[in-house]
Amino acid sequence: MAQRVRRFLVGLETLLLTLLLLSSSAATAQPDDVPIEHIIVFYQENHTFDNLYGHFPGANGLDRPGARVQQVNKEGKPYRTLPQPLNHGSPDKRFPDDLPNAPFLINRYVPLDQLTGDPVHGFYQYKLQMNNGKMNKNVAWTNQGGLTMGHYETKKLPLYPYARSYTLADNYFVAAFGESMLNHFWLFCACTPVWPNAPANMVAHPQFDAEGNLTGVPKDGFITPDGHVVNDVDPASRPYNPEIPADHRMPPQTLPTIGERLSDAGVSWVWYSYGWDDALAGKAFEGQHPVPTYFKKYAYGTRENTQHVKDESDFRASLDKKTLPAVSFITQLSTYDEHPAHATVLESEKHIVDLIEQVKHSPEWEKTVIIVTYDDFGGWYDHVAPPKIDRWGPGGRVPMLVISPYARKGFVDHTMYNTASILKFIEWRHGLAPLAERDAEANNLLAAFDFDRQGSKDSRGVNKVILVAAIVVLAGIAAAGILLWRRA
């Protein structure tokens, strides 16, 4: 009898497990079932997660044990106090010269509507700042003294209410070490640009120890010794700085891009940039060039450039005219990109809020996903070491907000993501082949969504039936087990 009881219970447990697996499978969204017709990516610049959301409730921020990592100098000795914060190489007297050796609140000294210095955030410098994951040499390898340890009061950010109302990811990393341009490439092609036989004065000379660890950069540069572009340079295509010689502008790239994948599938897309029309008219700008212009196919003067690279005003117009493309990338050439030294956090985020609200008040809102994230770490401290994938990164941890009628509400998503996860989400939604190994293996953004909540087509009723059945079976296991045990 005891053996019969065991066989019966095992059978019921197997059935329960099967029902639960079926429930999980039915709840997994399929791209053709989700009511998403528009994906909008706002790509801001140069802030780590701790720098902006270090005190966000429920997130892995500066309030966690061990988050306030003591900084050491290049020789490994702790600083007694942080060095005087700098601004454009000069002491920034708005800050004390004896700040404790720990993260500090910038707002206490400099409000959100004022500029700060611009911490170095180069490819090699970030690897040195990480110090093999110890995250304790941000100050040692910066150019702005103790400023790199500063962070903002999270609740005063204009984007804070959206992070609270929708989904905030606290385990999202930029794709690559280093500056804006490289990470814009990774959003567009999941790749690092190449420049064979680059001018010698543009090539970096990093220094390594016997074990292959980076120990310094005696000569910094824009290009690795083996011909990969890792720091910001101008494109060969307009608009570019006329003072830069033609042979010091990056040759047109030909690697496959998400733009090509989308176009080949008949999916509309545009890369919008605030200030693009002004830049074409010759007005100087301080932000990052629209990355498609680095590619031969989308160079200035081509039909593809006219079709796919536009001013931010065209994005606003597309909402009014109901011509919003399926995929929109939105960057800022200046003024509102949130980049330290030329764009304030307050005005930059207020600008993004204005755009978000325009989307929310448009007919497209009910079928739209908005992603707000940052291209690089900006030289600011963050206590979480990035995972190790390849020689390019991932780089620093930055915020990512997912705003949509289908985003989980008031949710902190701890899933491991990087820039390539955005590509993975776009590829998943439109049935596209991955561009490279990184986006093929990246985690999709699906944990940030609850499609059932808005009544998507993926068998909501079936999920409930299966869940009820699972509960009934669980109760049956317990009752039958007790009954058979007593009879035995």
Q: What is the pLDDT of residues 449-482, one digit of tens each?
A: 998 865 333 334 434 444 444 454 555 555 555 4
Angle of helix 312-321 versus helix 345-360 axis, rounded to 10: 20
Minimum mean pLDDT range among 92-101, 102-111, 173-182, 276-285: 276-285
Q: Tell whether the model's pLDDT for residue 266 goes beyond 80.
A: yes
Residues β-bridged to residue 330: 42, 272
User: What integer is the mean pLDDT of 12-22?
Assistant: 42
pLDDT of residue 117: 94
The answer to whether the CB of 49 falls within 8 A of the CB of 380 is no
Distances in whole angstroms, Cα of residue 47 to Cα of each of 189, 377, 430: 22, 5, 30
Please give the backbone phi and psi of residue 11, each rounded to the nearest 5 degrees, phi first: -60, -45
Minimum mean pLDDT range among 19-28, 117-126, 186-195: 19-28
Q: What is the pLDDT of residues 378-434, one digit of tens each?
A: 999 999 999 999 999 999 999 999 999 999 999 999 999 999 999 999 999 999 999
Q: Tell whether the model's pLDDT for residue 18 goes beyond 60.
A: no
Residue 124: Cβ within 10 Å count: 23
**DSSP reduced 3-state for 214:** strand
**Nearest residue to 229 (alpha-carbon basis) of 271, 261, 188, 197:** 197
Minimum mean pLDDT range among 14-18, 300-304, 405-409, 423-427: 14-18
Confidence class for position 173, pLDDT limits 50, 70, 90 = very high
User: What integer is the mean pLDDT of 193-212?
Assistant: 95
Alpha helices by DSSP H, listed for 293-418, are: 303-308, 312-321, 345-360
The share of the chain scoring above pLDDT 70, in percent, equals 87
User: What integer is the mean pLDDT of 439-448?
Assistant: 97
CA 353 to chain centre: 18
The answer to whether the CB of 121 falls within 8 A of the CB of 46 is yes
pLDDT of residue 34: 87
Q: Tell whether the model's pLDDT for residue 200 goes beyond 50.
A: yes
**CA-to-CA distance for 59 and 56, rounded, in angstroms?**
6
By DSSP bridging, strand 104-105 and strand 150-151 are parallel
**CA-to-CA distance for 279 and 240, rounded, in angstroms?**
9
**Nearest residue to 442 (alpha-carbon basis) of 160, 54, 127, 169:** 169
Confidence class for position 377, pLDDT limits 50, 70, 90 = very high
Q: Tell whether the model's pLDDT for residue 322 goes beyond 50.
A: yes
**For the purposes of burial, counting CB atoms within 10 Å of the CB of 87, is it exposed (0-12), middle (13-18) or buried (19 or more)?**
buried
Residues β-bridged to residue 250: 235
Q: Tell whether the model's pLDDT for residue 146 goes beyond 50.
A: yes
pLDDT of residue 26: 28
By residue count, the chain amounts to 488
The residue ranking higher by pLDDT, 88 or 285, is 88
Q: Tell whether the model's pLDDT for residue 312 goes beyond 90.
A: yes
pLDDT of residue 32: 78
pLDDT of residue 303: 97
Question: Any idea what the Cα angle at residue 300 is, between residues 266 and 203, rounded to 5°?
Answer: 110
Confidence class for position 304, pLDDT limits 50, 70, 90 = very high
User: What integer is the mean pLDDT of 133-156?
Assistant: 97
Output Rg (C-alpha) for the chain, integer angstroms. Answer: 25
Q: What is the pLDDT of residues 26-77, one digit of tens each?
A: 246 788 778 999 999 999 999 999 999 999 999 999 999 999 999 999 999 9
Distances in whole angstroms, Cα of residue 274 to Cα of each of 27, 87, 279, 334: 39, 26, 9, 7
Please give the backbone phi and psi of residue 36, each rounded to the nearest 5 degrees, phi first: -105, 120
Residue 125: Cβ within 10 Å count: 24
Residues β-bridged to residue 90: 87
Residues β-bridged to residue 295: 253
User: What integer is the mean pLDDT of 308-316?
Assistant: 96
Report residue 110 as tokens. Answer: 């400099």
